Amino acid sequence: MSVTEPCSYHPTKAARFHCPKCEANFCPECISRRQTEVYGSPREFFFCPKCNVHAEVLSVGSFIAPFWNRLPKFFAYPLHLRPLLLILLLSSVGVFLSWLPFVNLLLWVVLIKYCYAVLRNTVSGNLRPPELSYQVLGQDVGQAFKQIALFIIIGGAQALIFFYMGAGVGLLSLFFGILLIPAMIIVLVISDSLIDALNPVAFVTIAYRIGWGYLLMYLFLALLYGAPVFLAENFSSFMSPVLRRFLFLAASQYYTVISYSLMGYVILQYHEQIGYEVSAEDFLDQALVLQGESASSDTKPDATAAILNQVSILMKEGRAEDAILVMRESMRGGTAGRVLAERYYNLLKITQRESELLNHGRSYLDLLVAENDKAVACQIYRECLSLNPQFIPNPDALFKIAGWCLEDGDAKNGWNAFVRFIKANPQHGLVPKAYFLLGKNAKEKLHDEARAEKAFKSLIKLFPEHDLAVHARSYLQKMNRIGST
Ligand SMILES: [Zn+2]
Ligand SMILES: [Zn+2]
């Protein structure tokens, strides 16, 4: 019997992948995904975040809850509005229109048709009851007739055995017949062939492969079918015949819906043992519904979260080198967002990779400046400078940071940043403005008129035609320094 294995990194989450190399299990959040074109259509491949080898997708049966752990959910299934409406409708028709010819057969066909859709939905991992549409109830009635034919053949054979072989053999065969009906229905669903469903080799094999789980399912189903009979015998005397018939019909239909959803679930849970193809990969989203019984939006982590997860796994394993490799790879192309850039920066900081840190610091600062995050940008700038006084960000970022440092009251770094900006990028269009801001700040914030004068005069000298030169002159006039040159 399959047991749900947890993710090696999230003990509360069921593993969906297994690495053949390191034997670790991963949940969808932890696995590395890669999109690749296969014959022109994109396909997702899964890799071990630690070993970078192809991870095995665990079979659906290994990560869904076994059916015996969710029995109450099977009871709740027909109480969903869709099947409930159908049950009420069919039972009412069965009570009030039963004098019409073939009404009971027709009701049975509709119910079986719907139950077949229940089973199909469940097998594909969809635990919501199917809609009450023409498509579900009216089309392809052959499916329902095959099942009804199956019941008629079994019933007929049973009658013949009783008639020709006597009660002893008859009861024995009745016992095995009822025991094996679910297996026959499962074979019918899998093969869509009435002949296969009646072939003892096929249905006994199925029952045998499911093993104890099959017996458990059978016991459960037997109790289910016994219940309406028990109810009818014990409580019917208090009721009017109409009500009695209505409740009996509704109860049998209720249990029929349950039994089909249960059989569908058993096929799903044992699909590997019975050789029924359920694509675990198509299942990635639905199966989580099976697990938690509710779809959550975080089932498919975005690329950033996946990378962060991989990095944290590698760090937990003490493999900083590999974590940095992953981060470096993710930075390639320059499309990585701020979150990744920040993680990469911190990673380089803890592992003291100075030159890579300074290198990355430059693009990280570009990102921070683009996002107008003044405080963090200034802090990162100072950190990089303290590591290496020669550190110099890209020109536009440096210009902004210089202004922000001054704004922030960090006159020393602000001043230096402007000076370094001018020195490193003498041809940059913002150089005149840098001179002007230097002068203005020296005058107004530092009250250092000598420095202010020097900056303004450089501006006037180097860019006499620039708009800001006019302002620089008026500052100099105010400071009475214009004549002293
Ligand atoms: Zn591995
Ligand atoms: Zn995980």
Distance from C-alpha of 284 to C-alpha of 125, rounded to nearest angstrom: 10
pLDDT exceeds cutoff 70 at 221: yes
Degrees to nearest 5, angle at CA 215 with 214 and 218: 85
Please give the backbone phi and psi of residue 125, each rounded to the nearest 5 degrees, phi first: 85, 5
Last residue of a domain, one of 235, 254, 274: 274
In a domain, 140, yes or no: yes
pLDDT exceeds cutoff 50 at 14: yes
Please state the separation of Cα 283 from the chain's center in Å.
10
Exposure pattern of 268-307 as b/e (b: 16+ CB <10 Å)? bbbbbbbebebebeebbebbbbbbeeeeeeebebeeeebb
Q: What is the Å distance from ligand 2's center to 25 Cα? A: 8
Residue 81 · residue 40 · CB < 8 Å: no
Same domain, 1 and 80: no
Same domain, 126 and 14: no
Q: What is the Å distance from ligand 2's center to 4 Cα? A: 14
Interval 271-321: pLDDT, tens: 878 877 776 555 555 544 444 444 343 444 577 887 888 888 888 888 888
In a domain, 279, yes or no: no
Q: What is the Å distance from ligand 2's center to 315 Cα? A: 14
Q: What is the Å distance from ligand 2's center to 310 Cα? A: 10
pLDDT exceeds cutoff 50 at 382: yes
Distance from C-alpha of 290 to C-alpha of 125, rounded to nearest angstrom: 7
pLDDT exceeds cutoff 80 at 436: yes
The pLDDT assigned to 370 comes to 92
Interval 142-170: pLDDT, tens: 878 888 899 899 989 989 998 898 888 88
Interval 86-131: pLDDT, tens: 999 999 988 888 777 788 888 888 898 899 889 888 887 778 888 8
Sole residue written with tokens 């590997």: 272
Same domain, 9 and 79: no
Distance from C-alpha of 377 to C-alpha of 414, rounded to nearest angstrom: 12
The pLDDT assigned to 356 comes to 92
Q: At what angle do helices 303-316 and 338-350 cross, to 10 degrees?
A: 10
Most confident of 108-112, 170-174, 376-380, 471-475: 376-380
Mean pLDDT for the chain overall = 84
Same domain, 53 and 116: no
Per-residue confidence band for 449, with pLDDT thresholds at 50, 70 and 90: confident
* Nearest-10 Cα torsion for 274, 279, 285, 289: -10
Q: What is the Å distance from ligand 1's center to 268 Cα? A: 28
Residue 15 · residue 58 · CB < 8 Å: yes
Distance from C-alpha of 482 to C-alpha of 485, rounded to nearest angstrom: 7
Percent of the chain past pLDDT 90, that is, above it, reads 26
Same domain, 19 and 73: no
In a domain, 344, yes or no: no
Last residue of a domain, one of 274, 290, 321: 274
Interval 173-200: pLDDT, tens: 888 888 888 899 989 888 888 999 999 8
Q: What is the Å distance from ligand 1's center to 311 Cα? A: 14
In a domain, 228, yes or no: yes
Residue 138 · residue 145 · CB < 8 Å: no
Q: Which ligand is nearest to the CA of 31?
A: 2
Same domain, 46 and 81: no
Same domain, 28 and 157: no
pLDDT exceeds cutoff 70 at 36: yes
The pLDDT assigned to 290 comes to 47
Q: What is the Å distance from ligand 1's center to 29 Cα? A: 15
Same domain, 16 and 162: no
pLDDT exceeds cutoff 80 at 224: no
The pLDDT assigned to 286 comes to 52
Q: What is the Å distance from ligand 2's center to 32 Cα? A: 11
Residues with CB under 5 A from ligand 2 (ion): 7, 9-10, 27, 29-30
- For the chain, how many structural domains are there in total? 3
In a domain, 157, yes or no: yes
Per-residue confidence band for 482, with pLDDT thresholds at 50, 70 and 90: low
pLDDT exceeds cutoff 60 at 223: yes
Same domain, 113 and 167: yes
In a domain, 175, yes or no: yes
The pLDDT assigned to 1 comes to 36
Residues with CB under 5 A from ligand 1 (ion): 19, 21-22, 48, 50-51
Same domain, 27 and 88: no
Q: What is the Å distance from ligand 2's center to 455 Cα? A: 58
Distance from C-alpha of 63 to C-alpha of 81, rounded to nearest angstrom: 28
- Are β-strands 17-18 and 56-57 bridged in parallel, bridged antiparallel, or unpaired? antiparallel
The pLDDT assigned to 228 comes to 67
pLDDT exceeds cutoff 90 at 30: no
Q: What is the Å distance from ligand 1's center to 55 Cα? A: 7
Mean pLDDT value of segment 448-460: 89
Q: What is the Å distance from ligand 2's center to 319 Cα? A: 18
Distance from C-alpha of 251 to C-alpha of 233, rounded to nearest angstrom: 13
pLDDT exceeds cutoff 80 at 139: no
Per-residue confidence band for 366, with pLDDT thresholds at 50, 70 and 90: very high
- Secondary structure (DSSP) of 371-435: TT-HHHHHHHHHHHHHH-TT----HHHHHHHHHHHHHTT-HHHHHHHHHHHHHH-TT-TTHHHHH
Interval 225-238: pLDDT, tens: 777 677 767 776 77
Same domain, 31 and 114: no
In a domain, 210, yes or no: yes
The pLDDT assigned to 288 comes to 46
Lowest mean pLDDT among 32-36, 126-130, 327-331, 345-349: 32-36
Q: What is the Å distance from ligand 2's center to 434 Cα? A: 51
Q: What is the Å distance from ligand 2's center to 280 Cα? A: 17
Q: Which ligand is nearest to the CA of 15?
A: 2
pLDDT exceeds cutoff 70 at 483: no
Last residue of a domain, one of 58, 83, 99: 58
Same domain, 54 and 92: no
Percent of the chain past pLDDT 70, that is, above it, reads 92
The pLDDT assigned to 396 comes to 93
Q: What is the Å distance from ligand 1's center to 274 Cα? A: 29
Domain span at 51: 1-58
In a domain, 82, yes or no: yes
Distance from C-alpha of 315 to C-alpha of 160, rounded to nearest angstrom: 71
